[in-house]
């Protein structure tokens, strides 16, 4: 399967802990996006990479959140000092420059 993959699929953590998620995009895609989705809502944009450069960050991405794409391939999203409000599905998507974004299966985060 050559689609977008994400790891882990589920993460349960205690408030105040740090978590890190990984996304592996479709191999030839230069663009990578992170979105967050809460129950009953559509995904909301968090941040965007073109190759290894992080070109845009949403105001939703507080300073506790950091994302990297060090070699322009896989990406990581880290949340420090997690809060209960961080509980959500974190989705990664990738695309070429033509706009069709393909999503991974997501990482479901539960902060207790």
C-beta of 16: minimal distance to another protein in Å? 26
Within 13 Å, how many C-alpha atoms sit on residue 89's CB side? 16
C-beta of 25: minimal distance to another protein in Å? 13
Residue 19 or 35 with smaller CB distance to another protein: 35
Residues of span 28-87 touching another protein by CB under 8 A? 31, 33, 35, 40-45, 48, 50, 56, 58, 60
Residue 20 or 45 with smaller CB distance to another protein: 45
Residue 102 binding another protein, by CB under 8 A: yes
The helix, strand and coil proportions of the chain, stated in percent and rounded to the nearest 5, come to 5, 50, 45
| Cα–Cα nearest to 111, from 38, 11, 35 | 11
27's tokens: 């191999």
66's tokens: 């950091």
Size of the site for another protein (CB under 8 A): 28
Residues that bind another protein (CB under 8 A): 4, 6, 31, 33, 35, 40-45, 48, 50, 56, 58, 60, 91, 93, 95, 99-106, 108
């Amino acid at each position: 399967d050559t689609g977008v993959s994400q790891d882990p699929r589920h993460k349960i953590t205690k408030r105040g802990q740090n978590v890190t998620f990984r996304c592996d995009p479709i191999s030839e895609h230069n663009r990578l996006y992170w979105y967050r989705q809460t129950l009953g809502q559509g995904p909301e944009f968090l941040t965007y990479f073109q190759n290894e450069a992080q070109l845009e960050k949403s105001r939703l991405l507080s300073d506790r959140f950091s994302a990297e794409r060090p070699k322009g391939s896989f990406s990581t999203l880290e949340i420090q000092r997690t809060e209960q409000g961080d509980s959500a599905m974190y989705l990664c998507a990738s695309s070429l420059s033509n706009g069709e974004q393909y999503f991974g299966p997501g990482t479901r985060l539960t902060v207790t």
